[in-house]
Structure 1
Amino acid sequence: MTVKSRLLEILEKEKGETLSGEKLAEELHCTRAAIWKAVKSLREEGYMIEAGPNKGYMLVKANDRLSVEAIRPFLSFPEVYIKVYQEVDSTNRAAKAAAVTGEAGHGSFVLAGCQTEGRGRRGRSFYSPQDAGIYLSVILEPKGSLQESLLLTAEAAVAVYRAVKKITGVELDIKWVNDLYHNGKKVCGILTEAVTDFESGNIEFAVVGIGLNIFEAADGYPDSLKGIAGGIYENREAAGELDRSRLAAEIVNALLEETRELRLPQEYIEHNLVPGREICISDGDKIRRVKALEICPDGRLKVEEADGSLSVLSYGEVSIII
């Protein structure tokens, strides 16, 4: 680990505290000139580090730049592959590439400040503006079949719910099958992609992509998302000193704990918006109105059709009728 990386780790742990340059040099077994050089380089990368004569260095609390050094101290399973990009085309794509080559295994993850080609379900794009959210893809090696992968999405939704509540105090609503809402607007989408063994049908590994909007970016949402998308907070100022690195780590912690076994979490049912509502189901070019009855133990949705018959859905675009 370089002096710069080790220094950043210390500054992140003591964010908001002034640390003596002399003591930092002693701890890192380097010269004060090396500390200054590392600070200069970090500032050029966008880290807000204050310094003054005879005062030392301080990473300001408002600094919210994502980094491995900022995330790893909060992980329950710190010895995993972590890759942080300030910009990437798709975290799911990058995570899958790392998993296929064997570079990254279970619990490893890729995180980005923004995505240029963020992916949603059914080939849609996921709007991922710079530093306004958490764009995260986690590699999992669950023991189960492709059919059971629906449970991974449910467990991921609960992991996000728990982490957001723990760090921010905000309780999100879950919408079958893969979205989370706040104040009636979508704030999180989940895309689970599984690679399976052709003969056995078992999952070799899965990549769970999570796009979580922290607040609305300064440029606002595209016209297609206005009135639909939202954030946990209204804007950057309302988010205050929220630490995205810590929130991202807590999401990973919760996801790895939740997916120790494939099952439907009770919270997925308790906090779900869909059961008991009249909904529209979009499946390809077909749209039909049904009544959502309950979420089955395997994560599928039982509905009552217009003719009174019952159906069980594994997927489909759901719109709640108000």
Structure 2
Amino acid sequence: MTVKSRLLEILEKQKGETLSGEKLAEELHCTRAAIWKAVKSLREEGYKIEAGQNKGYMLAKANDRLSVEAIRPFLLSPEVYIGVYQEVDSTNRAAKAVAVNGEAGHGSFVLAGSQSAGRGRRGRSFYSPQDAGIYLSVILEPKGSIQESLLLTAEAAVAVYKAVKKVTGISLDIKWVNDLYHNSRKVCGILTEAVTDFESGNIEFAVVGIGLNLFEASDGYPDALQGIAGGIYESREAAAGLDRSRLAAEIVNTLLEETKELKLPDEYIQHNMVPGREICISDGNSICRAKALEICPDGRLKVQEEDGTVSILSYGEVSIIM
């Protein structure tokens, strides 16, 4: 670990506190000139580090730049691979790459400040503006078949629900199959991609991609998302006290706990906004109206169509009829 990385870790752990340059040099076994050089480099990368003559250095509490050093202290399994980018095309794509080449295993993850080609379900793009959300992909090695992968998405939704509730106090609504809502607006989408063994049908590894909107970016949402997308906070100012690194780490911690076994969490049913509602179902080829009856134990959705037919959905685009 370099002097810069070790210094950033210390500054992150004691964010808002002034630390003596002399003591930092002693702790890191380097010269004060090396500390100054590391501070200068971190400032050039965008870190808000204040300094005063004979006062030392302080990482401003308002600093919310994502880094490995900022996230690792909050993790329950800090030894995992962590990839942090200020921008990447897709965190799912980056996570799959390091999983395939053996660089990263279970519990490892990729996090980005923005995505240039974020991906949603059914080939859609996921709008990922700079520093307005958490764009995260976690590598998992669950014990189960591809048929059970739907449960991973349900467990991921519950993990986001619990983490957001714990860190912010905000309660979200879960929408079958892979979205979370706040104040009737979509604030989170989940994309689970599994790599399976062709012969056994078992999952070799899965990548769970989570895109969580914290607030609306300064240039707003694209026209196609107007009235649909939202954030868990009304504005950047309202989110000023949020530590993104802590929230991201809490999502990972909770996801690893939830996925120790493939099962449908009780919270997925308790906080689901779909059962009992009139819905519109689109499977890409047709659209029909139905009433959502219940979430089945395997995560599928039981519905009653207009002609009285009862069917069970494994996938499909569901919208609630207001």
- TM norm structure 2: 1.00
Map of 1:102 onto structure 2: 102
**SS at 2:158's partner residue?**
helix
Q: Show structure 1 runs of 4+ deviating over 4 A.
A: none
1:144 aligns with 2:144: yes
AA of the residue aligned to 1:210 = I
Map of 1:22 onto structure 2: 22
Q: Which whole-Å CA distance do the structure 1 matches of 2:151 and 2:317 have between them?
A: 17
What's the offset of the Cα at 1:240?
A: 1.4
What's the offset of the Cα at 1:285?
A: 2.8
Aligned runs of 1:38-53 on 2, under 5 Å?
38-53=38-53
Higher mean C-alpha displacement, 150-159 vs 237-246: 237-246
Q: Which whole-Å CA distance do the structure 1 matches of 2:184 and 2:220 have between them?
A: 17
Map of 2:5 onto structure 1: 5
AA of the residue aligned to 2:92 = N
**SS at 2:237's partner residue?**
helix
Aligned runs of 1:110-259 on 2, under 5 Å?
110-259=110-259
Map of 1:262 onto structure 2: 262
Aligned length: 322
**SS at 2:89's partner residue?**
coil
Q: Which whole-Å CA distance do the structure 2 matches of 1:217 and 1:196 have between them?
A: 37
Aligned runs of 1:72-91 on 2, under 5 Å?
72-91=72-91
5+ residue gaps, structure 1, are: none
5+ residue gaps, structure 2, are: none
What's the offset of the Cα at 1:235?
A: 1.1
What's the offset of the Cα at 1:241?
A: 2.1
1:33 aligns with 2:30: no
**SS at 2:146's partner residue?**
coil
**SS at 1:147's partner residue?**
helix
Q: Which whole-Å CA distance do the structure 2 matches of 1:159 and 1:177 have between them?
A: 14
Q: Which whole-Å CA distance do the structure 2 matches of 1:115 and 1:240 have between them?
A: 22
Q: Deviations over 1:281-301 (max 9, x none)?
A: 011131000000000000000
Q: Deviations over 1:124-144 (max 9, x none)?
A: 000000000000000000000
What's the offset of the Cα at 1:19?
A: 0.6
Q: Which whole-Å CA distance do the structure 2 matches of 1:285 and 1:129 have between them?
A: 31
AA of the residue aligned to 1:166 = K
Question: Root-mean-square deviation (CA), in Å?
Answer: 0.4
Q: Which whole-Å CA distance do the structure 1 matches of 2:33 and 2:286 have between them?
A: 67
Q: Which whole-Å CA distance do the structure 1 matches of 2:210 and 2:32 have between them?
A: 41
Q: Deviations over 1:22-60 (max 9, x none)?
A: 110010000000000000000000000000011110000
AA of the residue aligned to 1:231 = G
AA of the residue aligned to 1:160 = V
AA of the residue aligned to 1:228 = I
AA of the residue aligned to 1:227 = G
What's the offset of the Cα at 1:307?
A: 1.1
What's the offset of the Cα at 1:201?
A: 0.4
What's the offset of the Cα at 1:213?
A: 0.3
- Percent identity reads 87
**SS at 1:192's partner residue?**
strand
AA of the residue aligned to 2:168 = T
Map of 1:314 onto structure 2: 314
AA of the residue aligned to 1:112 = A
**SS at 1:236's partner residue?**
coil
Map of 2:67 onto structure 1: 67
Q: Which whole-Å CA distance do the structure 2 matches of 1:62 and 1:31 have between them?
A: 28
Q: Which whole-Å CA distance do the structure 1 matches of 2:197 and 2:310 have between them?
A: 33
Q: Deviations over 1:202-251 (max 9, x none)?
A: 00000000000011000000000011000010111010121101100000
